[in-house]
């Protein structure tokens, strides 16, 4: 609080000594409250745009628009360097980059920054654990709170959600406004004032340096001369290509501040909610017209219309694969066709799909005909053979290679292999093409035995090999 505001407060009449009427007292109270709030907002504004005494977290997460021929508001080159991230892609979709974390699922170590709304300056959020005394949200502005778990509040009526301040090491708690944490955590309320930094960190890694295309009708530029600290602009043409030059923290509801630069050098930003972790907003609220711009899809789209080039994608793109079973594809004219086992196909591209865990794989056959197939790359859904999604896992649909050119695979038996027929004299590679990898292997005298089992676990087929030549000598079904 500035000296000016302190002086004004000292000059205000003392309530206890005043002989004013109740009406005058009420007027004085209102005036003092307004001055306190004005002082607090002044402090917030100064903290937002000041350069001296910033913590490392503030230097990393507080970013601002910089216009041509304007000196940066952010203080040091070290802050810029702290945001440099590898260009290698980490994930294959927005859903995996920005997973939603319900309060029920929070894990110790999750980090949040205190970004008070206006109402939070009056209603205190946290109490210091050692004393139980409530503390001002303004005093915690831009501090990073690290989640420690929850407890029963030492037998109190309300449970505590516990944090440690990263900068000071002081412990704080938020008192759940119901008796049961389990009842509270499933709701969208979350913890007031806290912007989820996990979402911001993911955006720094995955969005900074990317080309985006504008889709919103309004954006913002930082302006310390205004009471809000920003000015709204409406002259950004839709479908303009821009580059993400900085990513930082926005607000509790819209935690990711994306700063972009257009081809004229002008910078502007949008605060967006992506995962909605601790945003305090219901899904339907973000569907309201004036809120849609504060979602990623409501403000931007990726210029190449592709979410990433995941290392798993690179394993397949440009290479030849073959089908492991009769497989249904979609043709370029949107017709459904089935291709037989061991059909060789070249993978042309793989594209993630916004709002879906499936990626679209585009392939072509030896004649140049194009097909597409929706597949899964993430192992998080691999529950087992009974998993209804297992048939969509890329590893269960394709294998790398071309059966028509594989060394040791005789082409005159390829039709048998497609039908799952094994004959005496087949090599191990030919058996694997015909039946897949064995469920288990063993020995029977001088022979090597491959066992193939049904989903129930019973043996359906035994293939005997000469252990020296690894050629099939006997087939038991």
Question: Over the chain, what is the mean pLDDT?
Answer: 81
pLDDT at 8 over 50: no
Provide the strand spans (E) within 134-224: 144-151, 160-165, 171-175, 194-196, 211-214, 219-222
What is the phi/psi pair of residue 149, to 5°? 110, -170
Helices (H), 121-269: 181-185, 197-207
- The per-residue b/e assignment along 277-295, b for 16 or more CB within 10 angstroms, e otherwise, is bbbbbeeeebeeeebebbb
pLDDT tens track for 232-242:
999 998 878 89
Beta-bridge partners for 243: 211, 261
pLDDT tens track for 348-368:
988 776 556 788 899 999 999
| Cα→Cα distances 317→91, 164, 350, 363, 448, Å | 16, 46, 7, 9, 36
Share of the chain above pLDDT 90, in %: 42
pLDDT tens track for 125-171:
999 999 999 999 999 999 999 999 998 876 666 789 999 999 999 99
Task: Give the lowest-confidence range in 9-23, 256-270, 295-309, 316-330.
Answer: 9-23
Higher pLDDT, 48 or 353: 353
- Other CB atoms closer than 10 Å to residue 469's CB: what's the count? 11
- Kindly state the average pLDDT of the residues 363-386: 75
Are 313 and 359 in contact by the 8 Å Cβ rule? The answer is: yes
Residues sharing a CB contact under 8 Å with residue 279, sequence separation 6 or more, in sequence order = 188, 190, 196, 252, 253, 254, 255, 273
Beta-bridge partners for 81: none
């Amino acid at each position: 609080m500035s000296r000016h505001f302190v002086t004004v407060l000292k000059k205000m009449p003392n309530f206890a000594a005043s002989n004013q009427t109740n009406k005058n007292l009420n007027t004085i109270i209102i005036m003092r409250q307004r001055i306190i709030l004005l002082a607090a907002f002044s402090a917030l504004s100064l903290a937002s745009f000041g350069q001296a005494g910033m913590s490392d977290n503030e230097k990393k997460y507080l970013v601002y628009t910089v216009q041509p021929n304007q000196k940066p508001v952010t203080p040091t080159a070290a802050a810029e360097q702290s945001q440099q991230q590898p260009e290698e892609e980490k994930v294959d979709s927005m859903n995996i980059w920005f997973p939603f974390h319900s309060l029920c699922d929070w894990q110790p170590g999750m980090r949040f920054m205190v970004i008070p709304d206006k109402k939070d300056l009056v209603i205190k959020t946290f109490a210091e654990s050692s004393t139980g005394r409530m503390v001002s949200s303004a005093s915690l502005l831009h501090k990073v709170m690290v989640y420690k778990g929850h407890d029963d509040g030492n037998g109190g009526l309300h449970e505590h959600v516990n944090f440690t301040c990263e900068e000071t090491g002081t412990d704080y708690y938020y008192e759940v406004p119901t008796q049961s944490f389990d009842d509270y955590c499933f709701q969208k309320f979350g913890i007031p004032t806290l912007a989820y930094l996990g979402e911001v960190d993911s955006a720094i890694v995955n969005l900074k340096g990317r080309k985006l295309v504008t889709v919103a009708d309004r954006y913002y530029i930082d302006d310390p001369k205004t009471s809000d600290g920003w000015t709204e602009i409406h002259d950004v043409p839709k479908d303009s290509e821009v580059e993400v030059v900085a990513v930082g923290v926005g607000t509790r509801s819209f935690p990711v501040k994306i700063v972009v630069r257009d081809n004229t050098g002008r910078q502007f930003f949008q605060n967006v909610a992506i995962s909605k972790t601790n945003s305090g907003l219901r899904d339907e609220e973000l569907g309201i017209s004036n809120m849609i711009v504060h979602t990623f899809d409501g403000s931007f789209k990726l210029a190449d219309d592709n979410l990433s080039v995941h290392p798993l994608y690179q394993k397949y793109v440009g290479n030849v694969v073959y089908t492991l079973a009769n497989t249904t594809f979609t043709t370029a004219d949107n017709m459904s066709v089935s291709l037989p086992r061991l059909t060789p196909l070249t993978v042309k591209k793989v594209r993630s799909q916004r709002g879906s865990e499936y990626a679209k794989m585009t392939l072509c056959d030896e004649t140049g005909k194009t097909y597409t197939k929706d597949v899964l790359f993430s192992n998080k859904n691999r529950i087992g053979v009974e998993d209804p999604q297992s048939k969509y896992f890329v590893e269960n649909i394709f294998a790398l290679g071309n059966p028509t050119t594989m060394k040791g695979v005789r082409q005159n038996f390829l039709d048998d292999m497609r039908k799952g027929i094994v004959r005496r004299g087949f090599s191990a590679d030919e058996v694997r093409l015909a039946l897949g990898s064995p469920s288990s292997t063993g020995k029977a005298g001088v022979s090597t035995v491959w066992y193939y089992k049904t989903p129930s676990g019973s043996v359906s087929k035994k293939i005997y090999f000469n252990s020296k030549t690894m050629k099939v000598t006997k087939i038991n079904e």
